[in-house]
Structure formats: structure tokens, C-alpha cells
Amino acid sequence: MTKKTVLVGLDGATFTLLDPFMEQGVMPFLKSFAERGVRAELRSVVPPLTPPAWTTVLTGRSPGHHGIFDFFQADGPGSTAIRLATSGDIQVDHIAEMANRSGLRASVINFPVHFPPLSIDGLVIAGWMPWRQLRLGCHPPDLYDRLKQLPDFNPRELAMDMALEARATEGCDEAEYIEWVGLHIRREERWLEVLNYLFDNDPSELTAVLLDGPDKVQHLCWRFLDPALWPADPTPEEIRIREASIGYYRRLDDILAALVEKAGPDATVVMVSDHGFGASTEVFHVNSWLEQAGYLVWSEDVTAQLSEGDTLGMGHLSRHSRWLDWDRTTAYVSTPTSNGIHIVRAEQHGGRGVAEADYDRFRAELVEALLSYVDERDGKPVVKAVATREEAFDGSAGALAPDLTLTLRDGGLVSILPANEIVIPRPQPVGTHRPLGVLLAAGPGIRQDTAIDELSLLDVTPILLYSLGVSLPDDLEGRVPAEMVTPEYLASHPVEVESGHSTTRDNQGKAGQQQLYDDEAEAILLARLRELGYVE
């Protein structure tokens, strides 16, 4: 009998919400699914950010090896120029390619960093695509035309249409919040329609789909969803927003039930999130801190340039390249999404910056200064942890990563903008990423009603390959957790490792150097990131 495995990505899902929703009857199917399978917390990558995390899920390799660190990518080690990351930047094999080598087809639906789509034996619909470019994100080329025949096919809702999304997020009244939630309910329903069609008409042994509504709803509506933040005496508006937000999870539960039923009783279904979620209550203006600490100097015309960029493009996002005085700057942060500090190294910048012989001393000094910085309001440290490049991104691709990666005390993202105050409280808590996501799995050989200890995103690819009966390449960094499988099944289906095979590509990242997004698509992608609070 041919094995079938379905990976359901639930972007940003967290047991902080799922557990009460399962107990309160909001998600009865998910509760029953957990009872017939295994659950575990799932540790994300550093930082717990969507593109590197999902790339780890689908490659079994850490960012230091697969080469995706952010929504954006440097043109090369030490480069101050950045662009949107693409599939060409992924420097290792994809799980779809691993399945193909064993004669199995794969479908990969709606994941980020999948444009241009991989030419695999199977199907790809790239995620994070502007709706006008969705056809270009489909493989094989005729897939888009086939999907257009579906009764409710709507590319404006399936992909990104900023006219719809801006209406939902340009303000803060209840109608806009509720419409934002409704948009993502409709988006999940469109993906269900696509998956039903593919299961019936073009099936694969491995199907991976990302439902990204949890992340999008939680970014905007976290204070209405988190039980710890719910007020004792909510206003009628707060109650309506909360009910609408919970309504998303009710509908998500129906969609998950339909997906699992469609997969069939003999399929292995693995549900995972790329990271968890929590509240961010303040903003740390890291470049202004670097300025006050003597590591960064703004250029003379930075104030005038603050008013530039009515159209958000990569040139505007890369404003640090013209905002900074490069003769006197030794450290800076280029994107708020990465929480990553880059050290200006003299050997990469024409003699400007930190000399190679001084690098280790300078970096250690910078780490100590960051960890010692305290908020003058409460006298407590703002930076919880600092990871060096070697600690966070050990691997052949690590040279493109930041020199230092920060974890803030509230788990939030830094701001790269100039500010008079270093730490500024937010008017209201907003949703932000946390390191621990979720894993729920059920199927042949998987234990029932069992909670196991924390797993890693690196374990997902081994789990999926094992469920398909495929040998594991020996350079995968995760494992098949024996604790999630019954002893009898493990004895009759031992884990097989394929020695001597490397998942690292020969042409590391070359395709990523191309300009793949046109100006309109680039502006739409960046605008969506801004709507979600990722860029400023």
C-alpha cells in the first residue's frame, strides 16, 4: 500500500491559545486529533522568524546551512545591499526533492521563499505572492489555469491583494479588525478548495500546505485572544473583536477536520507551527542605542531623509546604506525582522570599520554592552540574550548572517529608526513571535493520546521522510523521535539512514542573485510586511 503523508503548517500556532480553545469547545476536532496522536512543543530557530523557520521545516537543516535568515538577503558577506529572499537562496535540498529521489511525488503549497517554484515531480504554489504574480508562482505552468476552473477560485484572496488587506489594517476600529479576521477565514477556505481538487485530481504521496491565518490574526488581535491580557471589564467593541477572532479558530477547526478526512484514515498527518506567539509591550530602538554607545553615526542628512519613501520599495528599506556615516560606523542593524547586528569589518569595507585583528575583542565588548544596558524607567536589562554568528548560524552559509542576534526581554522586534528615547512603551500590547511552537501528529505507528518532551523544527523533515518509508540523508540535523512511535512499529519499521549523501547544493544561492520580483510585486510584499509590523 502506498504511504501518504500530509504536513499542515499552522503559522504561529501556540498551545497558549490552542489548549484553551480545545478545552472550551472552540476546536473540538483538534482536541480529538490530539487524543489519537502525539503532541509536543516545537522549538524554533534563532530568531523565531517565518522564512528561516519554515525553510528549516522543509529541509531539515538549520539557517547556517540552508542560507535563509530573514525576509531579506544580503548580496554577499559584508554587503550593505539587501533584497527580498528567494528560493534561489536556499543552499540545501528541499524535502520534495528528497521524496522525488525515492520515486515519490510531492505537493508544496503556500510556503514562503518558494518563488520561483522548484521544478519538482509534483506541484508547487509559492506563498507570499502578489495575486497578479500567482501564475508565475505555480509549477507546473498549467497548474494556475487548472485552478482557475474551481467554482470559488479567487486569486485576490488566495494570494495577496493589498487593496483588501489595507482596508482591514489601516485603522483600529472594530470593523477593520473584524474584516481582517474575515479575510483570513476566506483565505483558508480557498486553500481547502485547492487541496480538495489536488487530492482528487493530482495526488502526491507527500502534501505540505501552510495555513498562515493564525500568524496574521494573532499579530493584530493578540490582546483580544491571550487569556492573560483579557480585561476584567471588556468593552462591547473588545467583546465583538474577540468573538470574531475566536470565530477564525472555529472555522480553522472545521477546515482541519475536512483536510484530515480527505487525506484518509491511513495517512500520516503532522501539524506544526514555525514558532509560537506572545505579547510585545515596548520598542527597542537599537540603532539609536548603538549611536549613544558610540558604535553608529548617522549621516548629516538623515533627518531630511526621514520624510522620503512614500512608496515602500527596497531602496527605501535599504535606507541605512545612505543614513549612516560609514567612515565612523562600526555596527548597525539593517532590518528590524532579524534582530541582527552587523559589524562593519575593515577587510570588507575598504579599510573602514573594525580591523580583522580586533574583531573578536570588539564583538565581545559589544555583547557585554548590550547585556549591560538597562531601561532607565525600571532599571532592568532590555536585551535578554545575544547569540554570536557561530552560536546561531554555524554552517557553510553562516557568512551571510548577522554577527550578533538579539533576544529582547519582551520577545519583540527591534526598531531601526532614529529616536530620542531608546525604549518606548507600546500603547497596547501587540502579538509577536516566541520560540516554542506546536507539533501534533497522528497516523500509522504513532502513539495515541501522548504528550512528549520538546522537539525541534529540525526533526520535522526526518519525521515526514520516516512516515513515507524514505531513507534519511545522513547530514540532516534532526532525528526521528523514537518516543512518538510505538515500539512495535519502530521494530518493524526501523529508521534507515542513507550514508554518503549530502543535501548541500553545488550552486549555492546563485539563482537568488537575480531580480525576480517586479517593482509592483516588491511594493506589495513590503507593504504586507509593514502591515504586520515587520518593517517600518
Of 535, 505, 387, 397, the C-alpha closest to 72 is 535
Q: How many residues are given for the chain?
A: 536
Cβ neighbourhood burial of 233 (10 Å; 0-12, 13-18, 19+): exposed
Own/partner contacts of 197-200, CB < 8 Å, gap of 24 or more, are 197/146, 197/147, 197/150, 198/107, 198/109, 198/123, 199/262, 199/263
Compute the half-sphere exposure of residue 393: CA atoms within 13 Å on the CB side of its CA.
26
Q: What is the CA angle 225-16-7, rounded to 5?
A: 105
Q: For the chain, which ranges sit under pLDDT 50?
A: 167-172, 307-314, 507-513
pTM of the model: 0.92
Strand partners of residue 423 = 284
pLDDT of residue 534: 60
In the numeric block, the cell 484514515 is attached to 265
pLDDT of residue 177: 86
d(CA 166, CA 170): 6
Strand, coil or helix: 136: helix
pLDDT of residue 506: 62
pLDDT of residue 311: 40
CA distances from 344 to 363, 416, 437 (A): 11, 16, 34
d(CA 60, CA 460): 7
Of 171, 376, 408, 433, the C-alpha closest to 283 is 408
Of 435, 338, 461, 455, the C-alpha closest to 45 is 435
d(CA 320, CA 72): 14
CA 53 vs. chain centroid, Å, equals 5
The phi and psi torsions of 84 (rounded to 5 degrees) equal -70, 135
Domains of the chain: 5-280+432-531 (3.40.720.10), 281-428 (3.30.1360)
pLDDT of residue 511: 42
pLDDT of residue 509: 43
Cell digits for 463?
A: 519525521
**pLDDT single digits (tens) 19-51:** 999 999 999 999 999 999 999 999 999 999 999
Of 309, 326, 355, 294, the C-alpha closest to 80 is 326
pLDDT of residue 73: 86
